[in-house]
Amino acid sequence: MPDDFLSIISVPPRGEPPPPVSSRKIFGQFVFLILVLLSAGIGALSGLIFVYSSDLPKVRELEDYRPDVMTEIYADDGTPIGSFALEHRVIVSYNQIPPVLRNAVISIEDRHFESHWGVDILRIIRAGVKDVVEWRKAQGASTLTQQLSRMLFLTPDKSYRRKIQEVLLAIQIERYFTKPQIFAMYANQVDLAHGNFGFEAAAQFYFGKHLNQLTLPEAAVLAGVPRSPTAYSPILHPEAARRRRNQVLAAMLDNRKINAREFREASAAPLGLNIQRWSYTVAPYFVEEVRQFLERKYGPETVREKGLRVYTSLNLKMQEAAEENLRKGLREDDKRRGWRGPVKNILKTPLTAPDGMPVTLETYVDDDWKKPLSAGRLVHGLVMEVKPDHALVRFGSLSARVTRPDFAWVRKTQPVAVFVSGDVDLFQIKDVKGTAIRASLDQDPDVQGALLAIDNSTGEIKAMVGGYDWAASKFNRAVQAERQVGSSFKVYVYAQAILDGTSPFDTVADAPVSYHTSTGWWSPHNYDNKYEATITILHALAMSRNVPAVRTLAQVGVDKVIKLCRKFGITSRLVPNLPLALGASDLTLLEHTSAFTTFPNDGVHITPRMVTRVTNYDGRLIDDFAPEVADAIPAPTARIMVSMLREVFNSGTAELGKSFAAQYPVAGKTGTTNEFTDAWFLGFSPSLTCGVYVGFDDHRTLGDKEEGSHVALPIWLDFMGEVLKDRPVEGFPHSPLLTSPEQVKEILASAAPERLLAPRSAGPAAAVVNPPAP
């Protein structure tokens, strides 16, 4: 064995002390060990950062980031009328966020937001200790920046990998963006329950306010929701939301953002919710039709996520008049079929209150009573007691004495024959003075209807009502219901006859006639089962005589009339047979009303449109929808037809509106189908065309003599009267009421020169007519 090796392992003799070890050498070894461990830690950390950052998104992409925003729908005056979104969000800038909300959010979510660099180390250590103690990942320590990184780029699952990525992203976000930019992104992105994202959308939803209108307790409510949107929803869990709000207020007090007095007052305040749901409260049938149009053109994702700005043709004043008058007309028509009884009786069918106690006359509460009572409102009332001369009806804390005149339409003379204690009935409030109420019995109709108004010169749809109540039925009878149009179809038959050279003063036989068909002989008959022998075309249309219309169609030709209808914009299938003259084919109210605009438009048909312009969220134009115009008939033919349709008011089936037509020049046509299943009236002023349809969805009869002039015309008159009363009176300068054939010659000579330069080919004069009597 070598001597040097022995010297290395040799030990000092027993009893001799070991040689001293240098303290500098020990310190050096300790430092070396620390450096080795630190290097290993840094290496491991670098490895983790490399692994977890390798698939992180590029934070700089946030410079071009635009969160999903609502598509907004506007009326013709710029008033918002609806919105579509998967996430209801209204973008705001940092300066639009009031200090009270900023202070509330920062105090409860991230007190050191203004000073940290994306991560709050002390909070992480504190949360880590608690996680170890509780042996679960429970304690949150995320800053606002970390929350933003999670909302934008990561999943919400709790894992250490996700936490490390969240920290790395937060640090990057802080490098590229300022604190105001980060806070604004958070304020526009955060989930606030019930489909609301961002504080502005939530403020509108929960309180009906914009951010700059929020009070301290309201701001605290919103600031408390993000921690758990469902658990702290003021709607689902109001008590939990109140406690959470007070936690926010306490944090603000501790953070010296409010004083003790403000804390006490705000803590004692009620939640004060004023829920404004994102629903079609204005023109719901119209807004839904716009949504379907937009999704067909741009796709559902674009409509619900990209924040289009959609400018429509809807006129709010006309829409309000349309809804009010259609609903009133349907109720009046429904009452003629009698009283159907109470909605319910709380004594015969007992109800249970939320506390489990039975509902009594004194404790019953109706949803209608949550809003203030006002004249004209339809409200459910509770019958408290019935006396020989009246019924006492309660509306919340107020009551009304309902006497015989208030239920005369029921055709009962005694209150006891109509009312029973405990009944819940529908009433219309007539007057409210202090604690005194006047109310009359009413009922929701089971009949349906629709009303459509179109601007003649542009084709813009100004009002659309597709049914009595959107909440009860989403089926839009203005555009979806295809129903027989009855005698209102005759206008197209006579338009073809005039086009072929017939004069309104030519005559046609109103006498029995039969036609051979593939199923046998068919004999049309008149509404009154009478015949008037020889009558003028003018009179035949005004009085809506059926047999002359069929004779005229047989002479001019079914195919020619169908081709003419196509020029008028009618696209529905038209059965090529003689009953077509009586409206035996199905049309929609939209295409029928649009076709009628051709007459006051001097023979020009303009395709109806709801949307005039679409822009993106920033206002850049995407589409501008110009009118689609096409010549349908020559101007002289259209003007003669206007004159003939004016006679419908003057001496025909719409004579109920004769005094109205004397004040406002109008023209139109009634329509009634077999068995009185459908009632129509379509008419126009020089600038506006309106169509009204009434009928049951299941094609039941409306009742004997319930024809268009009795059911649909009154609705039309009420609507047009409300619309035209504030407009200058317009006239039909080239379409007078006809009294002699000479007027027809003048109308034919009144055509605009440019229309005369492009004459249309006309068929031979209709042989169906005879020369007028001398």
Q: What is the pLDDT of residues 202-230, one digit of tens each?
A: 999 999 999 999 999 999 999 999 999 99
Q: Give the confidence band of 36 by pLDDT, cuts at 50, 70, 90.
A: low
Neighbours of 539 (CB within 10 A): 20
| CA-based nearest residue to 687, from 711, 715, 666, 656 | 666
* Mean pLDDT computed over 43-72: 60
**HEC letters along 45-98:** HHHHHHHHHCCCCCHHHHHHCCCCECEEEECCCCCEEEEECCCECCCCCHHHCC
C-alpha 253/C-alpha 246 separation (Å) is 10
Query: C-alpha 101: how far from its chain's center?
Result: 31
Q: What sections of 457-579 are H helices per DSSP?
A: 490-499, 537-542, 546-556, 558-567
pLDDT beyond 60 at 139? no
> Does 2 score more than 90 pLDDT?
no
What local confidence, expressed as pLDDT, does residue 70 receive?
Answer: 87
C-alpha 655/C-alpha 647 separation (Å) is: 9
3-state helix, strand, coil split of the chain in percent (to 5) is 40, 15, 40
- The Cα 286–Cα 282 span in angstroms is 9
Exactly one of 107, 487, 488, 503 is catalytic; name it: 487
| Coil/strand/helix, residue 135 | coil
Which is catalytic among the residues 109, 166, 218, 460? Answer: 109
Whole-number pLDDT of residue 44: 46
Quick: pLDDT tens for 421-470.
Answer: 999 999 999 999 888 899 999 999 999 999 999 999 999 999 999 999 99
Separation between Cα atoms, residue 372 and residue 320, nearest integer Å = 20
C-alpha dihedral over 351, 356, 361, 362, to 10 degrees? -160
pLDDT band at residue 600 using 50, 70 and 90 as cut-offs: very high
The predicted-structure confidence for 356-407, as pLDDT tens digits, reads as follows: 889 999 999 999 998 899 999 999 999 999 999 999 999 999 999 999 999 9
289 is catalytic: no
Exposure b/e, 323-342, CB count within 10 A at least 16 = b: bebbbbbbbebbbeeebeeb
Name the band, by pLDDT with cuts 50, 70 and 90, for residue 614: very high
Give the alpha-carbon dihedral of 143, 147, 149, 151, to 10 degrees.
-170
Structure confidence at residue 444 (pLDDT): 95
Q: What is the pLDDT of residue 31?
A: 66
Look at residue 751 in the predicted model and tell me its pLDDT: 64
Mean pLDDT for the chain? Answer: 88
Q: How many helices (H) and strands (E) does the chain have?
A: 24, 24
Query: Residue 37: its pLDDT value, please?
Result: 66
What is the C-alpha to C-alpha distance for residues 329 and 711, in angstroms, rounded to an integer? Answer: 8
Q: What is the pLDDT of residue 50?
A: 43
Q: Which pLDDT belongs to residue 436?
A: 85
Give tens-digit pLDDT for 275-302.
888 766 789 999 999 999 999 999 999 9
Distance CA 494, CA 279 (A): 45
Burial tier of 145 (Cβ tally within 10 Å: 0-12, 13-18, 19+): buried
- How far apart are the C-alpha atoms of 49 and 404, rounded to whole Å? 84
- Quick check: 396 and 380 in contact, CB under 8 A? no
pLDDT at 106 over 60: yes
**Are the beta carbons of 758 and 633 closer than 8 angstroms?**
no
Of 313, 281, 595, the C-alpha closest to 463 is: 313
Work out the number of other CB atoms within 10 angstroms of the CB of residue 256.
Answer: 9
Contact at 8 Å (CB) between 582 and 485?
A: no
> 689 with 467: CB under 8 angstroms?
no
Identify whether 109 is a catalytic site residue.
yes
Please provide residue 425's backbone torsions phi and psi, each rounded to the nearest 5 degrees: -120, 160
pLDDT score recorded for residue 134: 59
User: Residue 33: pLDDT above 70?
Assistant: no
pLDDT(64) > 90: no
Per-residue pLDDT of 649-665, as tens digits, reads: 999 999 999 999 999 99
Beta partners for residue 344, in sequence order? 424
User: Cβ distance 692 to 330 under 8 Å?
Assistant: no
pLDDT score for 152: 81
Query: Which tokens is 55 given?
Result: 């698939």
End-to-end CA distance of the chain: 156
Percent of the chain with pLDDT over 90: 73
Q: What is the DSSP string of 175-212?
A: HHS-HHHHHHHHHHH-B-STTBBSHHHHHHHHHS--GG
% pLDDT > 70, the chain? 85
DSSP structural state of residue 609: B
pLDDT confidence of residue 524 = 96
Could you tell me which of 302, 317, 298 has the C-alpha nearest to residue 81? 317
Structure tokens at 22: 């240098």
